[in-house]
């Protein structure tokens, strides 16, 4: 038989354990991406001389270079200059920084949806920049971009197999190791694909639910 259920159930605990590692990296990496992306977007919004230009240039550089090259640069090249990071931390940081460049564009689109009159009214009321962002701009700009941010969360999740290049044993790496040890790849690879499918669908559904709740709350607040 091509598929052996007994063998599949035997390796299932190892695959499930590896999926936890994948989820941990995904959640931590996206937390970094969402936070840094917001920082980059706010700096761009404020048009700070030199700083805003440097941030836009940095984001463009990150988006224009492969994620794998960025991983190699941090994990293999930086130790030559005395900067050594554990593999897990490297994966979280590189994934987070990489996707923060994309999240920044999502936040920027949210900022553009806020009418300019909101800024003018805030200035007329003599509110500080921090108060304007926290009380007026962000509450209006963030809810509409929940869905595209969630799409990047799912995309980041599906990028985690590339971390095999820096020795992180996540879901796909575990499937490969099991296959190499037993010379049976059908079950581990299929289980890895099944885990990715189920978790991706669950994450997408959760994002849609959150987007619906935020949209409903926004409509209620405006009523």
CATH assignment at residue 76: 1.10.3720.10
On whether residue 180 sits in a domain, the answer given is: yes
What is the predicted pLDDT for the residue at 56?
Answer: 94
pTM for this predicted structure: 0.90
Q: Is the pLDDT of residue 72 over 80?
A: yes
What is the predicted pLDDT for the residue at 221?
Answer: 61
pLDDT tens for each residue of 170-208? 999 999 999 999 888 999 999 999 999 999 999 989 988
Q: Is the pLDDT of residue 74 over 90?
A: yes
With bands split at pLDDT 50, 70 and 90, how would you rate the model's confidence at 138?
confident
On whether residue 131 sits in a domain, the answer given is: yes
Q: Is the pLDDT of residue 223 over 60?
A: no
On whether residue 5 sits in a domain, the answer given is: no
* Mean residue pLDDT across the chain: 90
* Domain housing 141: 11-222
Rounded Cα gap, residues 169 and 204, in angstroms: 24
- Convert 29-64 to b/e letters by CB count within 10 Å (16 or more is b): bbebbbebbbebbbbbbeeeeeebeebeeebeebee
On whether residue 2 sits in a domain, the answer given is: no
Number of domains in the chain: 1
Residues 6+ apart with CB under 8 A from 195: 15, 16, 19, 22, 171
On whether residue 124 sits in a domain, the answer given is: yes
On whether residue 21 sits in a domain, the answer given is: yes
On whether residue 3 sits in a domain, the answer given is: no
On whether residue 1 sits in a domain, the answer given is: no
φ and ψ at residue 219, rounded to 5 degrees: -65, -40
Q: What is the mean pLDDT of residues 45-66?
A: 93
Residues 6+ apart with CB under 8 A from 91: 25, 29, 71, 160, 163, 166, 168
């Amino acid at each position: 038989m091509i598929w052996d259920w007994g063998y599949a159930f035997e390796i299932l605990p190892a695959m499930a354990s590896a999926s936890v590692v994948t989820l941990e990296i995904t959640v931590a990496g996206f937390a970094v991406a969402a936070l840094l992306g917001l920082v980059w977007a706010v700096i761009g919004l404020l048009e700070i001389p030199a700083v805003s230009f440097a941030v836009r240039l940095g984001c463009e550089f990150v988006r224009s270079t492969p994620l794998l090259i960025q991983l190699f640069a941090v994990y293999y090249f930086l130790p030559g200059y005395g900067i050594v990071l554990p593999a897990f931390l490297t994966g979280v940081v590189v994934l987070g920084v990489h996707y923060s460049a994309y999240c920044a564009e999502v936040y920027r689109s949210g900022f553009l949806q806020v009418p300019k009159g909101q800024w003018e009214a805030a200035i007329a009321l003599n509110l500080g920049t921090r108060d304007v962002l926290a009380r007026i701009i962000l509450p209006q700009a963030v809810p509409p971009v929940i869905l595209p941010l969630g799409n990047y969360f799912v995309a980041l999740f599906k990028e985690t197999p590339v971390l095999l290049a820096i020795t992180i044993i996540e879901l796909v790496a575990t499937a490969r190791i099991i296959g190499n040890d037993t010379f049976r790849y059908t079950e581990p690879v299929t289980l890895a694909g099944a885990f990715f499918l189920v978790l991706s669908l669950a994450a997408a559904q959760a994002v849609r639910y959150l987007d619906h709740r935020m949209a409903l709350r926004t409509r209620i607040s405006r009523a």
